[in-house]
Chain A
Amino acid sequence: MSDVTRSNPGAPESPGARDETLDAAREPLLSCLGLTKRFGRTLAVDDVSFQIAPGEAYGLLGPNGAGKTTTISILCGLLTADAGRVTLGGASLADAPMTVKAGIGYVPQEVALYHDLTAAENLRFFGRLYGLRGRELGTRVEEVLELVDLSDRANDRIDTFSGGMKRRINIATGLLHRPRLLVLDEPTVGVDPQSRNAILERVGELNRAGMALLYTSHYMDEVERVCARIGIMDGGRMIAEGTRRELVDRVGQADRIELDVEGDAATLADALGELGGVAQARAADRQVVLLAAAGRALLPTLLERAERAGVAVKGVQVIEPDLEAVFLHLTGKGLRDGP
């Protein structure tokens, strides 16, 4: 089982990071326990557990193939887990699937809409699936269209929409039945920066209005912006969980300095490791990686030592602590490197 942090770090770091993290006194809205899913010989999800409190914004962060979508598919009832348990508001997915599904608003990674129907027709169709009828359905369709700023395009076919507009309708469809938990699977993939910003804005507003979110992305900045708590997945496992601060604290407050070198990287790493302010130094291939408290201030000294050691420095990168650094620290690879 993964290492799960449940403490409240205190001060919020982003619009989504309010005092909504789960504590022992609060009943979780969503509880996933020991989820496991295997496709043939591939273990896609390996004993994943996490909980989301009512109104909390929770992010699943990880590279492509980390198991985020499979995890979401299990808790939305699209896939059956080989092991594990999902409950929403106390109702078990295995025992009361319709109750659990009715409480979740699912926004898939693809634009899952009927392109030969208008926006309103799509919304009405999916609204009926969730039991909305008559005036209530009509009202909700108008409301969600307004929410995503597409009221004026209600009667236009989806295939006439831009990519960003389709994404917004995609999200609106998941909101129709006022779900207790909105599950968004990489909702900004393939959209332009302006639409991406608009989508993140809307999602933030929904969370501020009290809707719990489960947000997956391999974009670190999106998860940081939207979510109060973050689970980091890799290779089907939940490798870390907590607030942004808690996760960053795992790698310390040190900057990560990467020197691309030509020459004896190991000797240089040893030499740099003895410098004051350098917490850690190691050689990797043609690179020397350092963890230092004040990376940028240390750069002149580092270059001077390299020259003295007869090692040519071809490139320098200073990475300040963030979730990318956390992921690097935990897995030894970048978020976008994939499995």
Chain B
Amino acid sequence: MIAARELRSRLRDRSALIVGVVAPVAMALIISFATGGAREAFHAQVGVVDLDGGEVATVFVQEVLGSSDLRSVFTSVPLATREEAEAAVAEGRLSAAFVIHAGVERITVLRSPTARIAGEIATSVAQNFAAQVSGVGQAIGLTVMATMFGPDAFGADGFRPTSLGDLDVDGSAFEAIDIGALAEEVAAAPMPVELVDASTGPSALSSASYFGPGMAMLFVFFLLGAAPRSLLAEAESGTLARLKAAPVSVASVIAGKGLAVALLGFVSMCVVWGVTAAVFGATWGNPFAVVVLLLAFVLAALGITTVVSVYAETEAQADGFVSIVAFVFAMLGGNFLFLGDLPRALQQIARLTPNGWALQGFTTLTADGGGVLDVLGPVAAILAFAAVAFAAAAPGLRRWTTR
């Protein structure tokens, strides 16, 4: 009987439907979309700078990158200069770029720190191509040698020429060349492939440096959700009525609670910063810029948790709403996956979340060694989220504190 009553009560609660059905479905869709598990396979845009202009380079562009297998993975974008390619990769317009140097003496792969999958595939493609070019070179060399010295030159002890065209050659004058060793030597020294991370910063972006802020952002939502939840709890317990009866303004009560949890949220993010730096060697970037980014994000997250909580009827419902928003923003914002590895559309959607902007800011600080001025854009965007959220929460707060 009690279970039936509780079940009826839960079903009447709209948050049960949202938390139990809508959120899991939405999360499943987002994850499928992000990992390409549903319909869309991995695909990235890569740049190609052909500084050679010869046939080998043409083969690489047309036959390798243009092959049916790689066409489904990469879309090649021809570029004129290495600098142009570096800028495109650094800004995230391209996931990686190939620079084929004059004489095809080496291939440089420019990789984005936030598009790891594309970078790995590009590296693999370049290394395979280089190995094949080296193998072809070895085969051509042997064919030329056989033509010049005749098949008898290849004795049991290796290559020892006995003739050179019509001339007899005293093979004993040559030291026998071990063909197998020669092949191994050639194979071991293929055309060099140079890997370059397209960041101008002091260090490449490590997982800890990316996911440290990401996870701090996710969990600060739960922490900050405590402020509006505690107001709801006070309303339910009656202490809010007592606070409202006291000679203090309701606004100051709300502001006091907000300030307390905002401080707590900021401190918690700083602690994550310290721990990831000390334990995992993460670098979050210029400390002053990091603090600015964290403060902006805490404000935005406080606004968002407030707006979703003030329209809840109970503390439990508010809890559910905050959890949903925290996870959806984390998923869309790139807190669980490198933003650069996400499909293009999701990279754009990430900009609809403060998480996405914050991660862009942190990536700029870490990978490019930027300072406060370099993250002003993301900070402004995050503060805009905060302003919109608080404006949307205001009518709900008013209605809710006067009921």
Binding site for B on A (CB under 8 A): 73, 76-80, 97-99, 101-102, 104, 106, 108-115, 126, 129-131, 173
Q: Which residue in chain B gives the minimum CB-CB distance to A104? A: B245
How far, in angstroms, from A277 to B191 measured CA to CA in the complex? 125
A166 to chain B, nearest CB (A): 11
How far, in angstroms, from A79 to B246 measured CA to CA in the complex? 13
Q: Is the interface of A mostly helix, strand, loop or mixed?
A: loop
Q: Which of A78, A97, A126, A129 contacts B241 (CB 8 A)?
A: A78
B239 at the binding interface (Cβ < 8 Å): yes
B402 to chain A, nearest CB (A): 6
Q: Which of B237, B239, B248, B402 contacts A79 (CB 8 A)?
A: B402
A129 near B239 with CB under 8 A, answer no
B238 near A109 with CB under 8 A, answer yes
6 closest cross-chain pairs (CB), A and B: A110-B238, A112-B238, A106-B245, A129-B246, A98-B247, A101-B247
Q: Which residue in chain A gives the minimum CB-CB distance to B248? A: A129
B237 near A112 with CB under 8 A, answer yes
A-side contacts of B246, CB under 8 Å: 101, 126, 129-130
A151 to chain B, nearest CB (A): 22
B-side contacts of A129, CB under 8 Å: 243, 246-248
Q: Which of A73, A106, A110, A126 contacts B237 (CB 8 A)?
A: A110
Residues from 191 to 250 in B contacting A, C-beta threshold 8 Å: 237-239, 241-248
A-side contacts of B241, CB under 8 Å: 73, 78, 106, 108, 110, 112
How far, in angstroms, from A135 to B328 measured CA to CA in the complex? 51
Interface string of B243-260 (1 = CB under 8 A from A): 111111000000000000
A40 to chain B, nearest CB (A): 11
How far, in angstroms, from A209 to B7 measured CA to CA in the complex? 53
Q: Which residue in chain A gives the minimum CB-CB distance to B246? A: A129
Interface string of B323-365 (1 = CB under 8 A from A): 0000000000000000000000000000000000000000000
Instruction: Known A79-B402, A80-B402; judge A101-B238 contact (CB<8 A).
Output: no
How far, in angstroms, from A49 to B348 measured CA to CA in the complex? 62
B-side contacts of A99, CB under 8 Å: 247
A167 to chain B, nearest CB (A): 12
A-side contacts of B243, CB under 8 Å: 129
Residues from 90 to 144 in B contacting A, C-beta threshold 8 Å: none
**Could you say which of B237, B241, B245, B402 has the most chain A C-beta atoms within 10 Å of its C-beta?**
B245
Q: Which of A78, A110, A114 contacts B245 (CB 8 A)?
A: A78
A-side contacts of B245, CB under 8 Å: 76-78, 101, 104, 106, 108
B-side contacts of A73, CB under 8 Å: 241
B247 near A111 with CB under 8 A, answer no
A86 to chain B, nearest CB (A): 13
A-side contacts of B238, CB under 8 Å: 108-112
How far, in angstroms, from A108 to B241 measured CA to CA in the complex? 8
How far, in angstroms, from A79 to B244 measured CA to CA in the complex? 9
How far, in angstroms, from A105 to B206 measured CA to CA in the complex? 59
A-side contacts of B244, CB under 8 Å: 76-78
How far, in angstroms, from A39 to B245 measured CA to CA in the complex? 20
B-side contacts of A102, CB under 8 Å: 247
How far, in angstroms, from A76 to B245 measured CA to CA in the complex? 6
